[in-house]
Amino acid sequence: MATPDASQTETSSDSAVANQADRRGSVTEPLGWPTAHNNCVPAIFLSYRRSDSVGAAGRLFDRLAEHFGADQVFRDIDSIEAGEDFEESIRDALRLATVVLVVIGPRWLEARSQDGTRRIDDPADYVRHETEAARSSDTAVVPLLVEGAALPARESVPTSVKALALRKIGSFPIHEM
């Protein structure tokens, strides 16, 4: 009986990649998901407001990247290259992510646009859109409270993101960094 050569045997790494492919579509290499932009879509998507929690999101990105690898964590500032289509990059990353961490700081709900309206009430608000897109797919959505924030009450958010208030929350203790 002939022994298969290395190219004919499946390793546990190959099996993990095949499992990822089953969930996400074709996979080009272990732990790397293709996009039209940079051949890498991460498994963890950070949704945050720059006016509320940019520092906490940055530290969270650093910790997650250290643990999982930077190519597995999407944060717009770190993951979108100059000249790339911002909205397309966000859409691609959300479509292929396995978890969206919605980083909620103390000013997340009350962030205002230039006309004074709450940004979360605007259907074009990126944080709202990211939360809605993740909820409409099989992506896990985890509200992550930072800097002493409280989870917004269900009645204080638009209907399309009310379910966020029902999720098990996490917290990110920045002082331990």
Domain presence at residue 15: no
Within a domain: 12:
no
Look at residue 145 and tell me whether its pLDDT is greater than 80: yes
Range of the domain at 166: 28-176
Strand duo 99-104 + 170-171: pairing? unpaired
- Most confidently modeled range among 27-31, 40-44, 78-82, 105-109: 105-109
Mean pLDDT, range 42-56, rounded to an integer: 90
Statement: residue 9 has pLDDT above 90: no
Residue 151 lies in a domain: yes
Helix ranges restricted to H, 109-159: 126-135
**Looking at residue 151, what DSSP letter applies?**
P
CA separation for the pair 11, 108 (Å, rounded): 45
Is pLDDT at 35 greater than 70 in this prediction? no
Residue 119 within a domain = yes
Measure the CA–CA gap between 22 and 16, rounded to whole angstroms.
10
The reported pTM is: 0.71
pLDDT band for position 127 (cuts 50, 70, 90): very high
Q: At residue 25, does pLDDT exceed 90? A: no
4 within domain boundaries: no
Count of structural domains within the chain = 1
* Assigned domain for 10 exists: no
Q: Is the pLDDT of residue 56 over 90?
A: yes
Does residue 20 fall inside a structural domain?
no
On the question of pLDDT at 139 being above 60, the answer is: yes
Q: Is residue 84, in this structure, part of any structural domain at all?
A: yes
The residues that bridge with 143 in the sheet, in sequence order, are 102
Per-residue pLDDT tens for 62-74? 999 998 898 899 9
CATH number at residue 92: 3.40.50.10140
